Chains A and B, each alone.
Chain A
């Protein structure tokens, strides 16, 4: 008797999963494979950074109402950034720009450099000189190598290093709240 009930239960659960599989029910919609959790978390970090950094007024000359988050050869980050696209931060909307190569780069308030770009890092940083771009990457030692924020993984959790000097050179003001949570590093 009980065996039969369990059987019914299993069937019902299977049914549930089928209903669950339809797009209407499923919040992730049509994308079958959501990006790895690591990148979803990193994308959320990028969004949070936008709340704790002050850009100079000229950084919003072209458009007062959007804040641009760019990504060079983003890999899984490209789809992860969908989760923050259009979200509101300090009265502005997040716009996401994707660049395939460093040559395509245009101004963005925040630029995420993927580890695949490690060999082109110097060229990318050179291109950004003189702009108020907050550079973020998970390339090892990024903040010591001329970048600003380095996302690092420590014991399965994401932490970050900040190079305050490079950020100040780019006229960016980083809030003390963000600095308190960060490890402060300086350039090599």
Chain B
């Protein structure tokens, strides 16, 4: 019943309509259900009188109600002038999701496609790719995207899901507060305080795709002010299958452990220290171009990753909402893959200060400095080479934001900008202006204009990649043609300007609808441009290099709508329905040879429908249906699919529960993604699966 715990989020949470069994004509469905709500409203209004409220919560539940949200500035999500969606820990549990990337399927406007047991393409508002690069992901304030390609290795991002308090999904640019890479969205993963995870917890389970997993945590307190917890988890995941039904070799395992300490030396101060250590191994099959016939060889490999991090944060709160905080973290990641090797150390120090100015202004500013040191390359792997091999990059940034009460409690204007300097593109400014109007307690209208940049990744500057080889000829001599993609020292930031408009309405406690529309203009998007062929006829074997250089020769625009709604006809029944529409138009400039291939690599329509029912005898029956539109421009193209997940939960006592979960129940297998690393190979497919899980609290 987490829905009631944090009211600001509950208000922006979506509702669902279970009648949708067939996802034909998604837009029509939404319009229809909306009409249905109106028809039903008078009937359900009566139910509202019986809807539980805050005064029916127990003390323990009240102590977990969040009175403000933990964004950079505490601002109830309900009042925020941005497209925000919250996935709570309880949502993840009841949806039966077993990993962070899978949990993101619950959010509207987010595209999730699995193409390997440990690989996902994830983006918000489009531009999804094998290595998506327009999404910023944070775990407890630690940035987890890699500057190598400005994307995320999702297999390495995990924790005990039981300890996740919520995942805030912010669609649209968040550059002003969060910085570069917060271009199309921000995923902010927040774990529970140690105080909220006291006592022991053990979970054990297994099934067809989740072969076996075990997780445990213990939390306690020392004295009256120091709370701690430690956790460990292990998971063994089954492989996906090929289109012909053969087993992939991409099964993977992870081991992970960590801790968190929260110390409250006074009512004004909070000190947090936390850390994780992890390692994992996985298999993959990759096509490697070869200069000799048949010009491409399929290689199989068993690869691994490992890493660790430690973060500490001190927050000091003073009277009248003044606050300062200092945060420091160190993160080390290591990946050893078939094609490349990466070891990266990142150190980050951040300071923030918030204070009111006069009666109307609420200011927040901060500075951040980050150093990242990497060592790349694999000995004897000419396929993917980074030059230079080692690199140290600095990032210095600052932001200032003022929230102005134009009309007290009615009209709030937020003006702010982030300024940063990075090693690749130099100085960048990312300003935004946001306005939220509160005509009354149950309506919010907001609008925003923001600029954001996606700064160049190491890969776009320093890579040399043998992409493909094919037979050709120069005059009379037959030779091999080798397509080589290389970075460009002039590659600059991708830019965007986004216009957003949103509306939230909660006509009653049991119903809320959150609507967001956007129009975004992109410029300097990445393209690959051909150069003059370079003969390497004296090499063995002789070949001709067809160089492609990364460049910024494309512009474009996207527009779309996202609807998230929550309906609670009875206290024991929650319905959520989300819909997103996305249209992308890309325009390479005249000098570019880039086909507009990015268009329709992200689904145009997506629907998420969920029903959560509390049955008698301590049973819960949860149904999730996901519709994802086809991806015609991928090679090979991906048909649309409907995914059905069911979970039956039994919690006979507060300390024990049992779940049976079935996922992807509607088909034996289906593909979710087309090409891997731009190479048109048949992707792996996601199978029907089931698992059982038991958990104890003590």
Partners in one complex: yes
List residues of A whose CB falls within 8 A of some B CB: 2, 5-6, 8-10, 12-13, 15-17, 19-21, 24-28, 31-34, 37-38, 40-41, 43-45, 47-48, 52, 83-84, 87, 140-141, 152-159, 161, 177-178, 181, 183-184
Determine, out of B53-61, B101-109, B340-348, the stretch whose residues face the partner at the interface. Answer: B53-61
Q: With a CB–CB cut-off of 8 A, which chain B residues contact A184?
A: 224
Which single member of B27, B48, B270 contacts A6 (CB below 8 Å)? Answer: B27
Residue of A nearest to B31 (CB): A9
Closest beta carbon of chain A to B219's beta carbon, Å: 15
B54 pairs with A21, CB closer than 8 A: no
A87 pairs with B505, CB closer than 8 A: no
B505 pairs with A17, CB closer than 8 A: yes
Residue of A nearest to B66 (CB): A156
Interface string of B261-302 (1 = CB under 8 A from A): 010100100100000000000000000000000000000000
Q: With a CB–CB cut-off of 8 A, which chain B residues contact A177?
A: 59
B28 pairs with A84, CB closer than 8 A: no
Closest beta carbon of chain A to B564's beta carbon, Å: 12
B38 pairs with A183, CB closer than 8 A: no
- Beyond A13-B503, A25-B507, A37-B7, whether A5 also contacts B31 by CB under 8 A is yes
**Assembly CA distance A48 to B264 (angstroms):** 25
26 contacts between A and B (CB under 8 A): A5-B28, A6-B581, A9-B27, A13-B34, A16-B34, A17-B507, A19-B38, A26-B442, A27-B48, A27-B51, A37-B76, A38-B67, A41-B54, A43-B54, A44-B55, A45-B62, A140-B267, A152-B267, A154-B270, A155-B315, A156-B66, A157-B63, A157-B66, A158-B62, A161-B267, A178-B59
Which single member of A12, A40, A157 contacts B34 (CB below 8 Å)? Answer: A12
- Beyond A5-B31, A27-B509, whether A21 also contacts B45 by CB under 8 A is no
**Assembly CA distance A43 to B62 (angstroms):** 11
**Assembly CA distance A186 to B557 (angstroms):** 63
**Assembly CA distance A5 to B443 (angstroms):** 23
B67 pairs with A41, CB closer than 8 A: yes
**Assembly CA distance A17 to B440 (angstroms):** 11
Which single member of A83, A158, A181 contacts B67 (CB below 8 Å)? Answer: A158
Point out which of A13, A83, A184 has the most chain B C-beta atoms below 10 A from its C-beta.
Answer: A13
Is B534 part of the binding interface, using a Cβ–Cβ cutoff of 8 Å?
Answer: no
**Assembly CA distance A21 to B511 (angstroms):** 13
B63 pairs with A158, CB closer than 8 A: yes
Which single member of A16, A155, A159 contacts B507 (CB below 8 Å)? Answer: A16
Closest beta carbon of chain B to A117's beta carbon, Å: 16
B267 pairs with A12, CB closer than 8 A: no
Is B30 part of the binding interface, using a Cβ–Cβ cutoff of 8 Å?
Answer: yes
Residue of B nearest to A49 (CB): B59
Closest beta carbon of chain A to B171's beta carbon, Å: 17
Which single member of A9, A16, A48 contacts B59 (CB below 8 Å)? Answer: A48
Starting from the known contacts A6-B27, A13-B515, A156-B70, 20 additional A-B residue pairs (CB-CB under 8 Å) come to: A2-B581, A5-B31, A9-B30, A12-B34, A16-B34, A16-B505, A17-B443, A17-B505, A17-B507, A20-B41, A20-B508, A21-B440, A25-B507, A44-B54, A48-B58, A83-B53, A84-B55, A141-B267, A158-B62, A181-B63
B68 pairs with A16, CB closer than 8 A: no
Interface string of B25-56 (1 = CB under 8 A from A): 00110110011011001100100110101110
Residue of B nearest to A150 (CB): B267
Interface string of B144-159 (1 = CB under 8 A from A): 0000000000000000
B440 pairs with A32, CB closer than 8 A: yes
Residue of A nearest to B28 (CB): A5
Q: With a CB–CB cut-off of 8 A, which chain A residues contact B51?
A: 27
Interface residues of B in 296-338 (CB under 8 A from A): 315, 317, 319
- Beyond A25-B45, A32-B441, whether A156 also contacts B508 by CB under 8 A is no
**Assembly CA distance A138 to B30 (angstroms):** 46
Is B208 part of the binding interface, using a Cβ–Cβ cutoff of 8 Å?
Answer: no
Closest beta carbon of chain B to A23's beta carbon, Å: 11
Closest beta carbon of chain A to B220's beta carbon, Å: 14
Is B23 part of the binding interface, using a Cβ–Cβ cutoff of 8 Å?
Answer: no
B442 pairs with A28, CB closer than 8 A: yes
Is B2 part of the binding interface, using a Cβ–Cβ cutoff of 8 Å?
Answer: no
Closest beta carbon of chain B to A38's beta carbon, Å: 4
Is B366 part of the binding interface, using a Cβ–Cβ cutoff of 8 Å?
Answer: no
B34 pairs with A154, CB closer than 8 A: no
Q: With a CB–CB cut-off of 8 A, which chain B residues contact A12?
A: 31, 34-35, 38
Is B140 part of the binding interface, using a Cβ–Cβ cutoff of 8 Å?
Answer: no
Q: With a CB–CB cut-off of 8 A, which chain B residues contact A48?
A: 58-59, 62
A44 pairs with B57, CB closer than 8 A: yes
Is B457 part of the binding interface, using a Cβ–Cβ cutoff of 8 Å?
Answer: no
Point out which of A28, A32, A157 has the most chain B C-beta atoms below 10 A from its C-beta.
Answer: A157
Q: With a CB–CB cut-off of 8 A, which chain B residues contact A31?
A: 441
Which single member of B27, B45, B67, B506 contacts A157 (CB below 8 Å)? Answer: B67
**Assembly CA distance A177 to B193 (angstroms):** 21
**Assembly CA distance A87 to B56 (angstroms):** 10
**Assembly CA distance A156 to B70 (angstroms):** 7
Q: With a CB–CB cut-off of 8 A, which chain B residues contact A10?
A: 515
Q: With a CB–CB cut-off of 8 A, which chain A residues contact B511?
A: 20
- Beyond A9-B30, A13-B34, A16-B507, whether A156 also contacts B55 by CB under 8 A is no
Closest beta carbon of chain B to A97's beta carbon, Å: 18
Q: With a CB–CB cut-off of 8 A, which chain A residues contact B507?
A: 16-17, 19-21, 25-26
For the complex of A and B, list the 10 residue pairs with the smallest distance between their C-beta atoms, beginning with the closest: A20-B507, A44-B54, A38-B67, A5-B27, A17-B505, A9-B31, A32-B440, A12-B34, A34-B441, A44-B55
Q: With a CB–CB cut-off of 8 A, which chain A residues contact B8?
A: 37
Is B474 part of the binding interface, using a Cβ–Cβ cutoff of 8 Å?
Answer: no
A33 pairs with B37, CB closer than 8 A: no
Interface string of B183-221 (1 = CB under 8 A from A): 000000000010000000000000000000000000000
Residue of A nearest to B438 (CB): A33
Q: With a CB–CB cut-off of 8 A, which chain A residues contact B409?
A: 33
**Assembly CA distance A182 to B21 (angstroms):** 48
Is B74 part of the binding interface, using a Cβ–Cβ cutoff of 8 Å?
Answer: yes
Residue of A nearest to B25 (CB): A5
Is B64 part of the binding interface, using a Cβ–Cβ cutoff of 8 Å?
Answer: yes
**Assembly CA distance A43 to B7 (angstroms):** 15
Residue of A nearest to B581 (CB): A6
Q: With a CB–CB cut-off of 8 A, which chain A residues contact B63?
A: 157-159, 181
Closest beta carbon of chain B to A114's beta carbon, Å: 15
Q: With a CB–CB cut-off of 8 A, which chain B residues contact A40?
A: 7, 54
Residue of B nearest to A48 (CB): B59
A181 pairs with B59, CB closer than 8 A: yes
B55 pairs with A37, CB closer than 8 A: no
Is B69 part of the binding interface, using a Cβ–Cβ cutoff of 8 Å?
Answer: yes
Is B415 part of the binding interface, using a Cβ–Cβ cutoff of 8 Å?
Answer: no
**Assembly CA distance A2 to B579 (angstroms):** 13
B34 pairs with A27, CB closer than 8 A: no
Is B177 part of the binding interface, using a Cβ–Cβ cutoff of 8 Å?
Answer: no
B65 pairs with A154, CB closer than 8 A: no
